[in-house]
Structure 1
Amino acid sequence: MKFHSRFIRFLSLAIVLLTSQGIVTADDWPQLLGPNRNGISKETGLIDAFPSSGPKVLWKSDGGVGMSGVVIAEGIACTLVQDDQQQYALALDPSTGKTLWKAGLAPAYKNSMGNGPRATPVIDRGQVFAYTGEGKLCCLDAKSGLTKWSVDAIASNQGKPPEYGTASSPLTTEELVIVTVGTPEATVVAYDRETGAVRWKAGSGNPAGYSSAALLPLQGTVQVVVFHGQGVMSLYPGTGEVLWEYPYETPYDCNIATPIAVSQSVLISAGENHGTTLLQVPKEKGQDVQVVWESLGNRSVLRNEWQTSILHDGKLYGFDNVGSAGPVTHLTCVDAQNGHQLWRKARFGKGNCVAADGKLWCSLMTGELVIVRVDAAGFDELDRATVIGETRQAPAISNGKLYLRDNSEVVCIDISKERP
């Protein structure tokens, strides 16, 4: 069946899906990588450099162990944390850092690569969806933190968590919450967001990997694009019907970055010295995916280990992790259409980034926050300062504030320019 034959059926769905995450303001950061799950905020009027006295810290709040990012919407800043006993969803007042509620989710999760929950939660239309380290999916009330329902998504599908823990963030639509489980019974499962009942399952036998699925508008419809441990697959959101697949095997199933739409193509990137590939999406179901360009191996121009690159005006800005587990990391700019490297800042440091107001906001594992101008002509660092302890999380930006966390606290920094 041709994709365009279903265009009318999915046109209204596309509008709903792209806004369901969605009934938010431009100032919200409701999910992993922001409003559109691409790491880009529409906010403007942000600083180009820190004040001479240093970053303006509005508040710091006790958090806990974990690798979950911070999301901000509907009057709360939320992340997943852990103490010696339990994993929690923690909701803070975005303006003051005061704890609004703290909801227990599951027993403490321990892993040799770091303890605590990994997946970033989602705030969507009065609900918070959290995915724990061992793969328990929980739906909470955003105002009170009370649990509405929960399901052990991995165990109930006869599986085990990935080696390094469950890291895929939930993906919401108008009716569903979708998670990657990577079990013998299913690669992806969609649950009814109001009841937790299974609505559909898709794929089987593929390990989950650590990437978070994305809703991407491609070939006249919105597709759920899932970068699992051994490849990428595309699904119809409403039914889970598989549209196309492409193998992409990485050592240790370490496909982690979120897929990116580049016009009618999908870009995937992985570390462990793997590389980056741009795939042309087929117009008809059953047709093969075509490789537009690829840059693989130890000479690749871009290897996103656990960071998703930023696509701006057809250029990719991202972290290139060299070697297994990325002992050396460059910041680089690549033309998304052809894979040509435009510039590289060697040994920039391992970290993560988002974009807002024409700038990259880079959080390094050292705890430094670095401001870099988005410019394909060359690397232009504007300022840097240490703001927190060791962290892997990308910053979140909302209402002129930047939020970041480590294994002990959450920090909120004012990055808005002073208004006259």
Structure 2
Amino acid sequence: YNTGVQGDDWPQWQGPNRDGIWHEQGIIEHIPENGLPILWRVPLGGGYSGPAVTGERLYVADYIKTEGALENNPNNRSLLSGTERVLCFDTTTGKELWKHEYDCPYSISYAAGPRCTPTVHDDRVYALGSEGNFLCLDAKNGKLLWEKDFKKDYDASTPIWGFCGHPLIVDDLVICVVGGEGSVAVAFDRVSGTERWRALTASEQGYCPPTIIESAGIQQLLIWDADNLNSLEPATGRQLWSEPLKPMYGMSIMVPQLGELNGDQVLFASGIGKIGALYSLAKDSPGAQVVWRGGPKNAVYCANSTPFIEKNTIYGCDCQTGMLTAVDLESGDRLWETSVPTSDTDRPAKHGTAFLIRQAPP
């Protein structure tokens, strides 16, 4: 769509800093009655990958099904034959510049295609497929530089809803949520693909992307698996602290969110089954302590979209009610809720999927 402004790069899931903040100016406030003019369109296969944009190139992943019946049943795995692809397009014309594809049988629920948005960094594209195929490609021509197979290399089981943890670049590492004994989190050299460290064992690896926070004067890597919210040292994988936080069905999905309360740093995370907590983070050394836990009628329980914290309020889409919900940061009490952004009817949409992107000046 042409909005009359030139956008900045959006090279990975949730933007340049993985914080879901859009630093643009001159944004239109209302969509014209006849819609926005379409500059180009291209056909794609199925999938949940968002586009990653750097310069004049757009990267996206999809799936071309060749055999099998796709069933959107949350409890059943669809058995499909097909091809996963990573594609690159010219952002001005929509011309396909290259594609990399590989055979990939599926045995997951909601098996439309890849879950992860490609991560683009230093002329390389890092793409994680639904069945644990992790690729490093040359961003210019799509040439395969190195690859990993999480199931074969780490004896990881494919989660019922597929591998979902968008790869994270930290200095000279690319960090992934993998699975298997002692390898829920694995760091690879981002150039060579050599494993640098592995850490954590859990009942399941979960679906939450790895994320970096600054706390207690250092960088901390957060890994929320199916059982615990963990903090690791990014360079080594050494565990700094761990707190039990176990959502139903292993559905640790949302990225834990940092905020400030009464001068102290706090961290919020929640999931399906009304599982959620606010933690106070220690100032002098890495650590976390529960401030409050969610209950039946407070907090907001996020699955399909990540909430955000603005001043003393948490804003998020509740996965049970489908409501956009505001929560008092200090008490966990609900301040208000509305279905306006998440449903086009008066009836709330359970598991509503409104995605929250904030706009802020550059």
The TM-score with structure 2 as length reference comes to 0.84
Q: Give the whole-Å Cα distance in 2 for the aligned partners of 1:114 and 1:330.
A: 26
**Greater relative contact order: 1 or 2 (C-alpha under 8 angstroms, separation 6 or more)?**
1
* The one of 78, 81, 96 aligned to 2:59: 78
Tell me, yes or no, if structure 1 residue 343 matches structure 2 residue 336: yes
The SS at the match of 2:53 is strand
- Count of paired positions: 328
Deviation at 1:286, TM superposition (A): 7.8
Q: Structure 1 residues 237 and 27, CA, compared in 2 at 3 Å: closer, same or farther?
A: same
1:269 and 2:276 matched: no
Q: Percent identity?
A: 30
Residue 163 of structure 1, CA deviation:
1.7
Do 2:278 and 2:293's aligned partners in 1 also have CA atoms closer than 8 Å? yes
Aligned counterpart for 1:66 among listed residues 41, 47, 50: 47
Distance 1:26 1:260 in 2: 26
**Alignment-derived partner of residue 180 in structure 1:** 177
Q: Are the aligned partners of 2:108 and 2:159 in contact in 1 as well (CA < 8 Å)? A: no
The match for 1:411 is none
Q: Is the 8 A contact 1:89 1:104 kept in 2?
A: yes
Provide the residue aligned with 1:280 in structure 2: 280
Alpha-carbon distance in structure 2 between the residues aligned to 1:243 and 1:199: 18
Secondary structure of the structure 2 residue equivalent to 1:321: coil
Counterpart-to-counterpart distance in 2, 1:78 and 1:337: 40
Deviations 1:75-102 (A, max 9, x none): 3211210112310111122233221211
- Quote the Cα distance in structure 2 between the aligned partners of 1:95 and 1:260: 35
The amino acid across from 1:268 in the alignment is A
Q: Specify which structure has the higher proportion of helix.
A: 1
Q: What is the match of residue 50 of structure 1?
A: 31
Native 8 Å contact 1:89 1:105 kept in 2? no
Amino acid at match of 2:30: A
Residue type of the alignment partner of 1:309: P
Instruction: Go from structure 1 to structure 2 and tell me whether the alpha carbon gap of 1:76 and 1:206 turns closer, same or farther (over 3 Å shift).
Output: farther
Higher deviation after alignment, 95-104 or 339-348? 339-348
Question: What is the CA distance between 1:237 and its match in structure 2?
Answer: 0.9
Aligned twin of 1:301: 299
Distance 1:315 1:56, change over 3 A: farther
Q: In structure 2, what is the Cα distance between the partners aligned to 1:121 and 1:300?
A: 35
Alpha-carbon distance in structure 1 between the residues aligned to 2:91 and 2:238:
39
- Distance in 2 separating the partners of 1:357 and 1:188: 31
CA distance in structure 1 between the partners assigned to 2:63 and 2:339 by the alignment:
35
Residue aligning to 1:29: 10
Query: Deviations along 1:191-240, whole A, 9 cap, x unmatched?
Result: 01111110001112341111101111111111111111112101111111
TM-score w.r.t. the length of structure 1 is 0.73
- Post-superposition Cα deviations, 1:258-288, rounded to whole Å, max 9, x if no partner, equal 12122422211212x324311122346685x
- Which residue in the other structure is 2:76 paired with? none
Rounded Cα–Cα distance in structure 1 between residues aligned with 2:24 and 2:270: 27
1:330 to 323, 326, 333: 323
Which structure 1 residue ranges, 5 or more long, are not aligned?
1-24, 323-327, 360-398, 400-420
Structure-2 residue corresponding to 1:167: 164
Rounded Cα–Cα distance in structure 1 between residues aligned with 2:240 and 2:111: 36
Q: Is the 8 A contact 1:275 1:304 kept in 2?
A: no
CA RMSD of aligned residues (A): 2.3
Distance 1:219 1:65 in 2: 42
